[in-house]
Amino acid sequence: MTDDHGRTTYRHGDLRGALIAAGIEMAREGGPDAVVLREATRRAGVSPNAAYRHFDDRDALLREVSDACLGLAADRIERSFDEHPPTGDPQADARQLLRSVGLGYLGFAREEPGLFRTAFSVPDNLNRAAESAKAGRRGRTPFQLVGVALDALLEAGLLPPERRPNAEFLAWATVHGLGMLVIDGPLRGLDDRMIDFATERLLDMVDRGL
């Protein structure tokens, strides 16, 4: 436990970090709506208004929590990379790389639906998609990871150069959509085998159609 809830000093030490951590925990259980400012301060053992020394308002806190969630998604994708190490065949490896992005992304959505929803609950845009706040431990954001995989496909000659620009949008949209439908869309409640199967087919489609 890193929280000095029962602190003795007047200053907290790292209230900002504690509030974000509390926010992530709440987001994990209940999604973006569950990250409530007062509760975060309560968990940090501090009065409600203390939060305003570190965040303009609740939205600012949520934004930071959301960025952190994107970082966790990046971590999950990197883990998926590690689980499918390159074999030496450049073409097969490139395809597996993109597949791994999809698998990691969807794994994150299924394992941490609250964090997943929180990650995308805050309006964003392309300019900010590569901000370091959204990066995982290895310093890359999910958006960048998709790009890496696509670059590999390009280099392996599996993606015609004229199709490379903005291909991120297509790949990302596809897995993102499945993620959303699975966690609280109509595909919710499907058994795991079914979802695995849909995932494989979806990735096949991307592989074939990109």
Partner DNA sequence: GTAGGGTTGTGGACAGTGTACACATCGCGT
Partner DNA sequence: ACGCGATGTGTACACTGTCCACAACCCTAC
Please report how close the Cβ of residue 41 comes to DNA at its closest, in angstroms.
7
Q: Which stretch binds its own copies (CB under 8 A): 38-46, 51-59, 83-91, 123-131?
A: 123-131
**Binding of residue 123 to DNA (CB under 7 A):** no
Please report how close the Cβ of residue 130 comes to its own copies at its closest, in angstroms.
9
| Closest-CA residue to 210 (of 75, 74, 76, 97) | 97
Instruction: Give one DSSP letter per residue of 2-52, joined into a string.
Output: ---TT--SSS-S-HHHHHHHHHHHHHHHH-GGG--HHHHHHHTTS-GGGGG
CA distance 20 to 37: 10
Question: What is the x/- site pattern for DNA, positions 11-50, by CB under 7 A?
Answer: xxx-x--------------------xxxx------xxxxx
| Count of positions on this chain that bind its own copies (CB under 8 A) | 42
Question: Using the rule CB under 7 A, which residue among 5, 29, 53, 139 binds DNA?
Answer: 53
CA distance 180 to 164: 25
State which of positions 170-189 bind its own copies (CB under 8 A).
170, 172-181, 184-189
Q: Is 189 left (phi over 0), alpha (psi -120 to 50) or beta?
A: left
What residues make contact with DNA under the rule CB under 7 A?
9-13, 15, 36-39, 46-50, 52-54, 57-59
